[in-house]
Amino acid sequence: MNFRIPWIISRRSKIFNISIDYTINIFIYNYIFFKELEITPSSLVSNSLAFFWIVISYILGRYEKNRNSIISSFSKALIKIILIFLLCNSIYFFVNLDLPIVFFKHLDTFNDYISRELNNLFLRSSLYISISSLFIQYFLGIISNNIHNKKEQWIFLGRDYKYKQIIQEIAKDKSNIKLSIFSNQDNLDRLNIEDIKGLVIGNLNDINEKNLDILFNMKLKGVLIESLLTWFENRFHRIPTQIIENKYQLIEKIKSIEDNYQLRAKRLGDLIVSLTLLVITSPLLFVTAFLIFIEDSGPIFYSQTRTGLNGEVIKIFKFRSMKMNAEKNGIQWAKHSDPRITRIGKFIRAARIDELPQLICVIKGDMSLIGPRPERPEIENNSLKDIPYYNCRTLLKPGISGWAQVNYPYGASIYDSTKKLSFDIYYISHFSILLDLLILFKTIKLVLNAKGSKPQI
């Protein structure tokens, strides 16, 4: 498995912060447990606490850079740590329902004494972990912001029209990159390379032998030299079609996924997670079905044909979130504040509950939990005409969530489809189980924050 991939490298500070939190949890819990009881605690309990702590912290955004004022950022950090503390202890006492009752009866047995001590020990441990994690992560966030908030100076070597395309493409991306152009390649040796991060080569065919020697000398001086496609995917974690020079370049970029052990592991994970989610959410499924029916007595489920793996047509199922006969005037994009959406539909769309029936499609093997979102053939036919390389999305099974869904708002136009395709191509190029896990956690974060479920227009 290749760990030198852009989305891991760009998150190295976040991975470091997570490692610090994990160490804090394990060390404090084990230290207090051993000091109080003089025995080594169960590794299952300490690791479960650490894992739960990290997941909830990530969902709440505790590992982000501190960009706000000191008072504002610390207040938010304090609120988040209190929520995690309360949640950890609530779950602990819920799982150990037989332990809290010792507070309401006479402690006249050895077992009662041990139960009380275990309760108090967990409470103290989680409190010390909370305090330590609060201050350490807060200062790490400030340090990370000061280090990574500086603008990286890059020089683009290429044609003026290509430079304008790139500037327009990255205009809405939040990044610390400043890109300027040097179009006079005949005098490349006059380029001032002081205070620049590196050079972006717009077209490798434009580099002559003389310039190649100059670039080599710059490289020896520590200046980064990258092709446009590599530079873009490393910095923005997507691959726009307009920077792809030819189909062969795309073939080289997309790895072979026909016989990949990670695909088999992905399929096994799809089955386990989908079956587990169906069991856990079954009460929610019944409540949702009941609410949909009593609103207008219409059908509970809504089925659509979509394009699946290798262009095959599949059928997906969703909870109906729109009024009956919503498409009597033909197929159309969803809109912001769409009048066709029902009252219960607004809620289940925001919480992504309408997507849960697609777990059946995952179990059947038509879909995966993570992958490019399947599109309707009628809409896809238009996209194939207007968007280059759009059909490469079908190289992997479509997913309920995907890299495009967690990085770009709800799409409702050809423009949005073009942007999302850049994320889909990146995902296909860098597909791995680790990336799927990142998307899964980002999806949970989006769902809990009710973001990305509405079109922008």
Computed over every residue of the chain, the mean pLDDT equals: 82
Confidence of residue 187 (pLDDT cuts 50, 70, 90): confident
Between the ranges 86-100, 242-256, 349-363, where is the mean pLDDT highest? 349-363
The dihedrals phi and psi of 401, each to the nearest 5 degrees, come to -130, 165
End-to-end CA distance of the chain: 40
- The first and second tokens of residue 111, run together, are 């077992």
Confidence of residue 147 (pLDDT cuts 50, 70, 90): low
Residue 456: per-residue pLDDT: 52
Q: Are strands 177-181 and 198-201 parallel, antiparallel or unpaired?
A: unpaired
d(CA 11, CA 24): 20
Residue 369: per-residue pLDDT: 94
Higher pLDDT, 69 or 218: 218
Residue 103: per-residue pLDDT: 39
| Residue environment code for 245-261, b if the CB has 16+ CB neighbours within 10 A, otherwise e | eeeeebeebbeeeeeee
**Per residue in 159-170, pLDDT tens?**
888 899 899 888
Q: Which residues contact 421 (CB under 8 A, 6 or more apart)?
A: 241, 387, 389, 390, 393, 404
In the predicted structure, residue 3 carries a pLDDT above the cut 60: no
- The first and second tokens of residue 308, run together, are 């699946």
C-alpha count within 13 angstroms, C-beta hemisphere, residue 346: 10
**68 Ramachandran zone, left/alpha/beta (phi>0; psi -120 to 50):** beta
Residue 102: per-residue pLDDT: 39
**Per residue in 62-114, pLDDT tens?**
887 766 667 778 888 899 999 999 998 888 877 776 544 433 344 444 455 56
Q: Which residues contact 227 (CB under 8 A, 6 or more apart)?
A: 200, 201, 204
**Per residue in 419-450, pLDDT tens?**
999 999 999 988 888 899 889 988 888 887 76
In the predicted structure, residue 248 carries a pLDDT above the cut 90: no
Residue 255: per-residue pLDDT: 65
d(CA 439, CA 370): 7
Residue 326: per-residue pLDDT: 63
In the predicted structure, residue 145 carries a pLDDT above the cut 80: no
Q: Which residues contact 41 (CB under 8 A, 6 or more apart)?
A: 29, 30, 33, 34
Least confident of 14-28, 117-131, 135-149, 238-252: 135-149
**Per residue in 276-304, pLDDT tens?**
999 999 999 999 999 988 888 888 888 88
Between the ranges 3-12, 146-155, 265-274, where is the mean pLDDT highest? 265-274
Residue 105: per-residue pLDDT: 43
Higher pLDDT, 269 or 261: 269
Between the ranges 248-262, 273-287, 374-388, where is the mean pLDDT highest? 273-287
Across the range 333-341, mean pLDDT stands at: 68
Q: Which residues contact 123 (CB under 8 A, 6 or more apart)?
A: 89
Nearest to 141 by CA among 84, 85, 87, 70: 70
Query: Are 225 and 199 a contacting pair, CB within 8 Å?
Result: yes
In the predicted structure, residue 337 carries a pLDDT above the cut 70: no
C-alpha count within 13 angstroms, C-beta hemisphere, residue 318: 16
